[in-house]
Amino acid sequence: MAELAAVRSEETQKSQVDTETTERFIAEKHIGERIKRLRLKKSMGLVELGKHTGLSASFLSQLETGRVVPTLRNLARIAMVFSKDLSYFFEAEPQAMFRVHRRKERVRLPQTGVDEPTYFFESLGYMVPDRHMDPYFAQFVPLDKNTEPKAHMHPGYEFLYVLEGELDLHHGDHHCTLETGDAVYFDASTPHSYVCTGKKPADALIVTMHQPPPAQPVPILRSSGPRALPGSPAPAASGAR
């Protein structure tokens, strides 16, 4: 009997999560840091948060620094103050986006769709997944007088800052000359093109921002009578015999 009790005791110990593992699990969720971020976003002090939750400021301070383990009841009180669900404190935190693009790692590409490119570009964000904008370094080369630049267009908006040189910009009915230090922001869904007007190449920083076209409202068809099925004969005109 004694041996059986010892075996059961050992099995129970193996099935129980030790305190160190529990605290490590809680620490990995950064619950204290999440509470502090919520509080600071609301410009709320520990005393004020304590008044809303019924918890002391000293306890909240220890909670934010990870010196005490919160109970679900205490977390629920804090979550309700910030209009959050209790699961907020246990969900995986989104990772902050951070990517460095070294100059030696970038690839210089020519303008596409033409035999003689008028500019070359390097993507400054090719390593960023699901990006909402595309930054480029572009170098526009001087053109022969007989060379006509190819206009292009794309959804969203475009920003250009001239680092060095001169550029002529054609944007729909607009035309302007950009010099070193000039910048332009425009709707990229309008045909536009650039021309290097100097004897030396013009360097520029370009950022294109993605923005899908707005959804078109679906018209609601209203009829005074029953709808005819596709392919069925049209109803006879009123008074027809």
Of 163, 157, 162, nearest to 185 by C-alpha is: 157
Q: What is the pLDDT of residue 104?
A: 87
CATH 3.40.109.10 is the classification of domain 18-89: no
pLDDT computed for residue 127 by the predictor: 81
Which candidate, 187, 155, 160, 157, places its Cα nearest to that of 171?
187
So what's the pLDDT on residue 13? 46
Pairing of strands 157-164, 202-209: antiparallel
Decide: 211 and 157 in contact? Cβ < 8 Å. Answer: yes
DSSP state of 34: H
Predicted confidence at residue 98, as pLDDT, reads: 83
Cβ pair 122, 136 in contact under 8 A: yes
Helix (H) or strand (E) holding 161: strand 157-164
- For the domain made up of 103-209, the CATH class stated in words is mainly beta
User: For position 12, what pLDDT does the model report?
Assistant: 43
pLDDT at 237: 45
Element (H or E) spanning 2, and its range?
helix 2-15
Q: Is the pTM of this model over 0.95?
A: no
pLDDT in single tens digits along all 241 residues of the chain: 555 455 445 444 444 555 666 566 666 568 888 899 999 998 999 999 999 999 999 999 998 988 888 888 999 999 999 988 888 888 776 667 788 888 888 889 998 888 888 999 999 988 887 788 999 999 999 987 777 788 889 989 999 999 999 999 999 999 999 999 999 999 999 999 999 998 999 999 999 997 765 555 655 555 454 444 444 444 444 444 3
- Which secondary-structure segment (H or E) carries 74? helix 72-81
Q: CA 110 to CA 22: how far, in whole Å?
A: 56
Where do the structural domains in the chain lie, given as residue ranges?
Answer: 18-89, 103-209
Report the alpha-carbon distance of residue 169 to residue 193 in Å, rounded: 6
Residue 14 has a pLDDT of: 45
